[in-house]
Amino acid sequence: MTETLTGTFKYVFIPCIESEPVTSMEAERSGGLSNDLLSKNAKEYFFEKNGGAARALALENATPDEKRLLAKQIRDQYASSSSSGNGAGQGAVSQLQQMDDNALIDFVRTSQASATCEITALTVPTALNKYQAVSMYGDDNGRTRNLPFNKRATSLMKACGHGLPAQADNEDGKQSGIYGDAFVGRCIDNETEDIWKRVDLDVSEVEGDLNGVEWCRIARRKGGGGGYGGTGTAASLSGLMGNALGGGDLTKGSSLASKELSENGYKWSQTDDEVEIKIGVASGTKAKYVKVKFGRKSLKVTVAGQTLCDGETWGDVVLDDCTYTIQDDSESGGRELCVTLGKKQSEHWNYAVMRK
């Protein structure tokens, strides 16, 4: 039988301005999962901060002429995006042409009127961490809105073993990490025993020397619920219009592509079926200098006698589906060794190779 939820729980607020202190906040447990007050409070906070409430009101009160003008601007924006080389955008443009102005404005207004935020799973519940999930709530457009870099929130993500997007992915030139304010909270989530409840997370557990914080140490272990090089990022609950502008289907949620991550001196990415590891090597490196040893759950890579990668893979691999190639890398001026691991099971890997 589901436990009756009473009392309050503590969560923390991490401002992006480093001179401002991390503070403890409190909310009622009674909402449970269906009406989680931490999630609700965070969404309302960012909705107000990013001007979403004001934009939704402006759309609701727009005159017929203003709506026609806005509808034209949206269609022109889609058309421009498509003509610039985004082939996937053709479908979105076609959908827009079939929608009348009122339907299009209603679509935009609905997306603007939804209080949302980006949720990052710092840990997922596992037996090792006693089914404790810790999540971070932030502004889903903090980076593009040029909010300040949140050094403390980014450090917390890294302390849980999560890698950040490779620098090459950051076309805006900004460092990888969290931008804007963030909330962090903890819950017990044990599906077997039908338990979901908020529990306290104290300020002392999210700042200072995070390497000495117990729950972060557990998160970095395999099976500890953290990332150890994974993205650790849940799907954004906002950006509906942004996904559409990027060429997604207006009627369906867009799937998230695997990001390229950096760890232990190499970059890696994954699909449902394989993991790809890229290692930069010197310009004169030839295939005969490269030795790659694939194991059922291990990988060792040496180049000219130097070990570049040696350790245990996150999951089992299919040896017959493992390959490697070496090619020139125009960006670095050197060469790049690309190792492909075939996954035995279609599952998400939290890291590629853990060093011995």
SS (H, E, C) 203-247: HHHCCCCHHHCHHHHHHHCCCCCCCCCECCECCCCCCHHHHHHCC
80 is written with which tokens? Answer: 């421009």
Flag whether pLDDT at 193 surpasses 90. no
CA distance 221 to 293: 24
| 26 Cβ contact partners less than 8 Å away, ≥ 6 residues apart | 8, 9, 10, 11
- Lowest-pLDDT range of 43-47, 116-120, 175-179: 116-120
Across the range 101-108, mean pLDDT stands at 71
Q: Which two tokens stand for residue 70?
A: 């806005």
Q: What is the average pLDDT value for the chain, to the nearest integer? A: 78
Q: Are residues 252 and 268 in the same domain?
A: no
| 134 & 210 share domain | yes
Say whether both 83 and 221 belong to one domain.
yes
Domain coverage including residue 312: 264-355
**So what's the pLDDT on residue 107?**
66
d(CA 201, CA 186): 6
Per-residue pLDDT at 337: 92
Judge if 140 and 85 occupy the same domain. Answer: yes
Looking at the fold, whether 137 and 275 belong to one and the same domain comes out as no
How confident is the model over 83-95, as pLDDT tens digits? 554 444 455 556 6
What is the total residue count of the chain? 356
Last residue of a domain, one of 256, 288, 305: 256
Q: How far is CA 196 from CA 43, 137, 301, 333, in A?
A: 20, 18, 44, 52
- Are 25 and 123 contained in the same domain? yes
One domain for residues 241 and 308: no
Output 275 or 163, whichever has higher pLDDT: 275
With 0-12 / 13-18 / 19 or more C-beta atoms within 10 angstroms meaning exposed / middle / buried, residue 220 is buried
pLDDT above 60: residue 210: yes
In a shared domain, residues 226 and 318? no
Rounded to an integer, what is the distance from CA 348 to the centroid of its chain?
A: 13
Do 56 and 134 fall within a single domain?
yes
What is the structure's pLDDT at 253?
Answer: 32
Q: What is the pLDDT of residues 44-93, one digit of tens each?
A: 898 888 766 566 666 777 788 887 887 787 777 666 655 554 444 455 55
Name, in order, each residue with C-beta under 8 angstroms of 250's C-beta and a sequence gap of 6 or more: 92, 95, 96, 107, 244
Is it the case that residue 5 has pLDDT exceeding 90? no
Q: What's the pLDDT tens digit per position in 11-41?
A: 999 999 999 999 999 999 988 888 899 988 9
> Cα-flanking dihedrals φ and ψ of residue 283, to 5°?
-65, -30
pLDDT single digits (tens) 260-286: 666 667 888 898 899 999 998 888 888
pLDDT at 111 over 70: no
Q: Examine the fold and report which residue of 206, 221, 256 is the final residue of a domain before the chain moves on.
A: 256
Q: Which of 256, 274, 294 is the last residue of a domain?
A: 256
User: With 70 as the cut, is the pLDDT of residue 120 above it?
Assistant: yes
CATH number at residue 308: 2.60.40.790
Query: How confident is the model at residue 233, as a pLDDT?
Result: 38
271 shares its domain with 154: no
Question: Same domain for 44 and 176?
Answer: yes
Count of domains for the chain? 2
Instruction: Give the Å distances, CA to CA, from 228 to 123, 220, 221, 315, 349.
Output: 11, 5, 7, 13, 10
Same domain, 331 and 231: no
Question: Mind listing the pLDDT tens digit for each residue in 221-262?
Answer: 878 888 744 433 322 223 322 322 233 333 333 333 455 666
Q: pLDDT, tens digit, for every residue of 322-346? A: 999 998 887 777 889 999 999 998 8
